[in-house]
């Protein structure tokens, strides 16, 4: 009766024991602090049950930071192992697990939630809406992501980590070559989080289509909203493919089906195709919102309207369309033939054109502008050259014959770190410094911010620039150690120094956050940077209902025009009386439902069918009970609005 995974439930190893102890200590201290300060009720009422898009966004960002820490630790472990030849810091198996979790966590549980968090915070405000279209669903998205990430991370201490790479190629990831629960964690953790991502995509799309303030036509939307719209469409078409791929592999592993197996007629290439039909658009799901942030930040800190708005929109659409036509470039060397490779090579190179358009537009936006070099702006500025280096090496990789040389080498690793760190992460930092006052009502310290920026930027290049060289010198990815005398040692040491430099730089951001909570410059105007879009038209942080009056829009850069435009008279709100504002109620159900999902999927990971079934039953119970809930909304009274507005949004 005892399931066969039961005997290796607990993983042994010195780092695992350290992790066990740290997890227990951290849990005890969190529980202790919450109990000591009597904050349980506050945590539940204000945060865990909230349906407010701004708080949901903040929780996304918090969780993503925790994942950034975990993924970063994985990265540092790898770089420690590779610092010198013939190193024995990590074993081969352990190294496999670490690079698998590093890649998976950084892309799915760090980059994407970080961006979804920023979208949640800023997008509804930018379109002058009071909320997203489906606030309750938004909470479900957050908690399924959160518990999906938790499930994935649990593998480290219970049952063992996945070790087949973040791409989880079959048949390596199949039951024969990856026995044990590790790979199941990957499949079910990603699938749970993926549900939340798909729901977010639907939510954002409907929000942008239906909930823009009066007068905000599509071609008047801020560029960040445009990038969210296109990203949402990519999510809606790409994520079901991931769901199918993960579910099929789960069937192979749990129920002995033969979709991706080597025997009984299965076809491992099916996995590679499905994975990358999702995987390549995923690259743009994590880069397009960063493009959007860049457009906002550069416009604001140049004091100019965005150059080439329509071209920016057009290039977003072109990139999104092309992103679905290029997936085969991930396996040029798998024998698809010259015609197929040529098609996918050329379609990949085409993406450079709309991307180039965007880069020139950002540069022209700064041209003759009054550029202010705030930390947020510095991150955006650094984005441009790093992204160009990453993009050009990407075009080099897209040359199919040459790819036979670069394939699986460190050249590729350098390329995608320039895209994902130099692109997405720089964009995220830019967005965090930019919207921090809107989220928390105070600015981050500029001096500490610039330390963070310069240290990180230099260390980043120190880490990944040598990788191009190492790749050309023949060092391949996924190798856990190498012999001396190949000429790789110095560059590897340099990279390790750079990696720790990035970790060190992140401490400046942490110190900055803590320092700024106490001493940071408070933003009393709501308009911390002399901004252009509507999120700056309300207080910082914005009240629950965002805008007491829904704003009217007469052009692009709505808030800028209201402040400085020719016909700003049009914008001055006549002293209309407040009316009660309709808002959704908080609910604990999304949280509990995600817990039920978590329990169920944990059961699936260990093939404990009873646990899996009961968990699913609980999920359906929560859906059913929601359907019968009638008391889902409330009104904020005029007195309360008056009180909030006179207090400048701060209660």
Partner 1 sequence: MAYQMDAHHAPVDPSVPLEYSTEDGQLKILGFWVFIAADIVLFSCLFATYVVLHNNTYGGPTAEQLFDVPGFVTETLLLLTSSFTCGLAIFEMHRSRLQPMIGWWIVTILLGMGFVGMEISEFAKYVGEGANITRSAFLSSFFILVGTHGTHVTIGIFWMISILIQLIRYGITAVTARKAFVVSIYWHFLDAIWIFIFTVVYLSGKVS
For residue 161, count other CB atoms closer than 10 A to its CB.
27
- Helix pair 135-154, 589-605: axis angle to 10 deg: 30
Instruction: Tell me, by CB under 5 A, how many residues bind Cu ion.
Output: 1
The helix or strand, by DSSP H or E, that contains position 636, with its residue range, turns out to be strand 633-636
**Residue whose CB is less far from Cu ion, 106 or 558:** 106
Q: 3-class SS at 10?
A: strand
Question: Is 209 a binder of partner 1 (CB under 8 A)?
Answer: yes
The item of partner 1, Cu ion, none sharing an interface with residue 236, based on CB under 5 to 8 Å by kind, is partner 1
Judged by CB under 8 A, the residue of 134, 284, 598, 602 near partner 1 is 134
What span, in angstroms and rounded, lies between the C-alpha atoms of 252 and 171?
10
Judged by CB under 8 A, the residue of 32, 179, 256, 487 near partner 1 is 256
Contact 545, 554 (CB under 8 A): no
Instruction: Tell me, by CB under 8 A, how many residues bind partner 1.
Output: 45
What span, in angstroms and rounded, lies between the C-alpha atoms of 221 and 126?
8
If you count them, how many residues does the chain have? 651
**Residue whose CB is less far from partner 1, 63 or 137:** 137
What span, in angstroms and rounded, lies between the C-alpha atoms of 212 and 218?
9
Question: Is 620 a binder of partner 1 (CB under 8 A)?
Answer: yes
Which listed range, 107-115, 201-209, 339-347, 531-539, lies at the site for partner 1 (CB under 8 A)? Answer: 201-209
**Six token digits for residue 336:** 């698809």
Question: Is 358 a binder of Cu ion (CB under 5 A)?
Answer: no
Residue burial 279-305, b: 16+ Cβ < 10 Å; e: rest: bbbbbbbbbbbbbbbbbbbbbbbbbbe
Binding to partner 1 (CB under 8 A): which residues in 340-369? Answer: none
> CB of 116: closest distance to partner 1 in angstroms?
17
Q: Which residues contact 224 (CB under 8 A, 6 or more apart)?
A: 119, 122, 123, 126, 289, 292, 293, 295, 296, 533
DSSP secondary structure letters along 36-79: HTT-HHHIIIIIIT---HHHHHHHHHHHHHHHHHHHHHHHHHHH
The item of Cu ion, partner 1, none sharing an interface with residue 477, based on CB under 5 to 8 Å by kind, is none
Question: Is 619 a binder of partner 1 (CB under 8 A)?
Answer: no
Question: Is 102 a binder of Cu ion (CB under 5 A)?
Answer: no
**Residue whose CB is less far from partner 1, 251 or 515:** 251
Question: Is 467 a binder of partner 1 (CB under 8 A)?
Answer: no
What span, in angstroms and rounded, lies between the C-alpha atoms of 363 and 419?
19
Q: Where are the alpha helices (DSSP H) in 155-287?
A: 182-210, 223-255, 268-285
Question: Is 210 a binder of partner 1 (CB under 8 A)?
Answer: yes
Query: Checking phi first, is residue 592 left (phi over 0); if not, alpha (psi -120 to 50) or beta?
Result: alpha
Q: 3-class SS at 554?
A: coil
Question: Is 206 a binder of partner 1 (CB under 8 A)?
Answer: yes
555: DSSP letter: S
- Residue 413: which of 292, 499, 314 has the closest Cα? 499
- φ, ψ (nearest 5 deg) of residue 393: -70, -25
Judged by CB under 8 A, the residue of 83, 205, 285, 470 near partner 1 is 205
User: Is it true that the peptide bond before 313 is cis, omega within 30 degrees of 0?
Assistant: no
581: DSSP letter: E
Strand partners, 12: none
**Six token digits for residue 15:** 């780092």
In 288-434, the DSSP E strands lie at none
**Residue whose CB is less far from partner 1, 36 or 624:** 624
The item of Cu ion, partner 1, none sharing an interface with residue 570, based on CB under 5 to 8 Å by kind, is none
Which listed range, 113-121, 274-282, 392-400, 472-480, lies at the site for Cu ion (CB under 5 A)? Answer: 274-282
**Residue whose CB is less far from partner 1, 254 or 511:** 254
> CB of 416: closest distance to Cu ion in angstroms?
9
**Six token digits for residue 637:** 């009274």
The item of partner 1, Cu ion, none sharing an interface with residue 280, based on CB under 5 to 8 Å by kind, is Cu ion
Judged by CB under 8 A, the residue of 23, 76, 84, 236 near partner 1 is 236
What span, in angstroms and rounded, lies between the C-alpha atoms of 219 and 327?
31
Which listed range, 146-154, 314-322, 541-549, 622-630, lies at the site for partner 1 (CB under 8 A)? Answer: 622-630
**Six token digits for residue 554:** 């007469």
> CB of 131: closest distance to partner 1 in angstroms?
11
Judged by CB under 8 A, the residue of 90, 98, 208, 248 near partner 1 is 248
Strand partners, 635: 582
The item of partner 1, Cu ion, none sharing an interface with residue 237, based on CB under 5 to 8 Å by kind, is partner 1
Contact 140, 590 (CB under 8 A): yes
Question: Is 280 a binder of Cu ion (CB under 5 A)?
Answer: yes
Judged by CB under 8 A, the residue of 8, 258, 522, 549 near partner 1 is 258
Site string for partner 1, 261-290 (x = CB under 8 A): x-xxxxx--x---x--x-------------
Question: Is 407 a binder of Cu ion (CB under 5 A)?
Answer: no
The item of Cu ion, partner 1, none sharing an interface with residue 352, based on CB under 5 to 8 Å by kind, is none
Question: Is 452 a binder of Cu ion (CB under 5 A)?
Answer: no
The item of partner 1, Cu ion, none sharing an interface with residue 203, based on CB under 5 to 8 Å by kind, is partner 1
> CB of 283: closest distance to Cu ion in angstroms?
6
Q: Which residue is at the shortest CB distance from Cu ion? A: 280
> CB of 112: closest distance to partner 1 in angstroms?
17
Site string for partner 1, 551-590 (x = CB under 8 A): -------------------------------x--------
The helix or strand, by DSSP H or E, that contains position 583, with its residue range, turns out to be strand 581-584
> CB of 282: closest distance to Cu ion in angstroms?
9
Which spans of this chain sit near Cu ion (rule: CB under 5 A)?
280
- Applying CB under 8 A, which residues contact partner 1? 133-134, 198, 201-203, 205-206, 209-211, 236-237, 239-241, 243-245, 247-248, 251-252, 255-259, 261, 263-267, 270, 274, 277, 582, 620, 624, 627-628, 630-631, 633
């Amino acid at each position: 009766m005892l399931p066969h995974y039961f005997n290796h439930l607990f993983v042994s190893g010195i780092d695992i024991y350290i992790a066990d102890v740290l997890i227990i200590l951290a849990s005890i201290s969190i529980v202790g602090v919450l109990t000591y300060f009597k904050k349980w009720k506050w945590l539940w009422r204000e945060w865990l049950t909230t349906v407010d898009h701004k708080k949901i966004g903040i929780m996304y960002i918090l969780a993503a930071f925790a994942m950034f820490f975990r993924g970063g630790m994985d990265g540092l472990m790898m770089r420690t192992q590779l610092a010198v030849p013939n190193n024995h810091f990590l074993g081969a198996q352990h190294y496999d697990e670490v690079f698998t979790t590093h890649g998976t966590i950084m892309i799915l549980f760090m980059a994407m939630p970080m961006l979804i968090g920023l979208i949640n915070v800023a997008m509804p405000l930018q379109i002058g809406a009071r909320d997203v279209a489906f606030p309750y669903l938004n909470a479900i998205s957050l908690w399924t992501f959160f518990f999906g990430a938790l499930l994935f991370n649990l593998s480290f201490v219970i049952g063992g980590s996945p070790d087949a790479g973040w791409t989880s190629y079959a048949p390596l990831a199949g039951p024969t070559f990856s026995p044990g629960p590790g790979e199941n964690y990957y499949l079910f953790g990603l699938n749970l989080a993926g549900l939340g991502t798909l729901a977010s995509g639907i939510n954002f799309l409907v929000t942008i289509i239906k909930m823009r303030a009066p007068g905000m036509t599509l071609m008047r939307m801020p560029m960040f909203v445009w990038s969210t719209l296109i990203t949402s469409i990519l999510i809606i078409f790409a994520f079901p493919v991931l769901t199918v791929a993960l579910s099929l592999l789960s069937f192979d592993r749990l129920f002995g089906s033969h979709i991706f197996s080597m025997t009984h007629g299965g076809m491992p290439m099916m996995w590679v195709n499905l994975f990358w039909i999702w995987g390549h658009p995923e690259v743009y799901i994590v880069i397009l919102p960063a493009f959007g942030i860049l457009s906002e930040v550069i416009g604001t800190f140049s004091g100019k309207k965005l150059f080439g708005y329509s071209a920016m929109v057009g290039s977003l659409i072109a990139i999104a369309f092309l992103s679905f036509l290029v997936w085969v470039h991930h396996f040029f060397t798998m024998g698809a033939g010259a015609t197929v490779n040529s098609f996918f090579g050329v379609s990949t190179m085409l993406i450079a054109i709309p991307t180039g358009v965007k880069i020139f537009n950002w540069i022209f936006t700064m041209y003759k502008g009054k550029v202010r070099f705030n930390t947020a702006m510095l991150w955006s500025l650094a984005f441009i050259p790093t992204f160009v280096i990453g993009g050009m090496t990407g075009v080099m990789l897209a040359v199919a014959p040459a790819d036979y040389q670069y394939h699986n080498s460190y050249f590729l690793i350098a390329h995608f770190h320039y895209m994902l760190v130099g692109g997405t992460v720089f964009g995220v930092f830019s967005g965090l410094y930019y919207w921090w006052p809107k989220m928390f009502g105070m600015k981050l310290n500029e001096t500490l911010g610039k330390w963070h920026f310069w240290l990180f930027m230099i260390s980043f290049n120190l880490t990944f620039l040598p990788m191009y060289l190492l790749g050309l010198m023949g060092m391949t990815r996924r190798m856990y150690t190498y012999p001396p005398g190949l000429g790789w040692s110095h560059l590897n040491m340099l990279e390790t120094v750079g990696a720790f430099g990035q970790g060190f730089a992140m401490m400046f951001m942490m110190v900055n956050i803590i320092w700024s909570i106490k001493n940071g410059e408070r933003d009393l105007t709501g308009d911390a940077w002399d901004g252009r879009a509507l999120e700056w038209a309300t207080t910082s942080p914005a009240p629950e209902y965002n805008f007491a009056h829904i704003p009217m829009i007469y052009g692009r850069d709505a808030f800028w025009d209201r402040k400085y435009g020719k016909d700003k008279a049009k914008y001055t709100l006549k002293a209309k009386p407040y009316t009660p504002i309709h808002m959704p109620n908080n609910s604990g159900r999304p949280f509990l439902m995600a817990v039920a999902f978590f329990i169920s999927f944990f059961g699936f990971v260990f093939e404990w069918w009873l646990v899996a079934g009961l968990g699913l039953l609980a999920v359906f119970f929560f859906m059913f009970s929601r359907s019968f809930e009638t008391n889902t909304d409330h009104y904020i009274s005029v007195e309360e609005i008056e009180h909030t507005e006179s207090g400048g949004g701060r209660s």
